Amino acid sequence: MKKTTLIGLLFVIFLLNGCADTPPSTQENSESETVSSTQICDIFTDETINELIGSPFRTEPMEELDSRTGGCKFINTEDEAINARNFNIIARITEDEPTAMSEYTRATSVWRNGNMSQKKTSDIENTGTEAFWAYGSETTQLITYENEALVILTLGHLHDDEAILLEKSKTAALQTLNSLQ
């Protein structure tokens, strides 16, 4: 439900904010290491979003989390708000690949321990260095990383067949990873 999606997003934000090895004031960011929410929103064409959640839809950049992390949410405006089809993405450029792998491991461990929900989970291939799929009837998440880039997609109230939803999610994740390289 909407509450589950919100809890998942808040958890991801909490997780990502706690991952820096050095205080933000001492981190140096080059232009290539900067990610903005607007940049993440601009990755996806209207056609891609229509394919995922239908139309009409609203695009909302997420609050800037830090200079290395951006996010965007796409919400179908035809649906009742509490059950609106939605697609949310958070993308982060970490300091290096070992840090991306560590953050990936942290993010997926919540699903892997099985205590948070009754979702069907699996590792998936051909999407970044590693990728993880947590499928549920109301919310689904794909988490992946490649090089220094970490991507977390959360999909809500999409009632596509799981295999179709997985392929659509993999495509969106790869688009994001490619844009961050």
Paired tokens of 12 = 């991801």
pLDDT digits (tens, 9 = 90+) for 101-146: 999 999 998 888 766 567 788 999 999 999 999 998 888 999 999 9
pLDDT digits (tens, 9 = 90+) for 8-49: 543 444 444 554 443 443 344 444 578 999 999 999 999 999
Give the residue extent of every domain in the chain: 2-14+31-180
Topology (CATH) of 2-14+31-180: Protein Transport Mog1p; Chain A (3.40.1000)
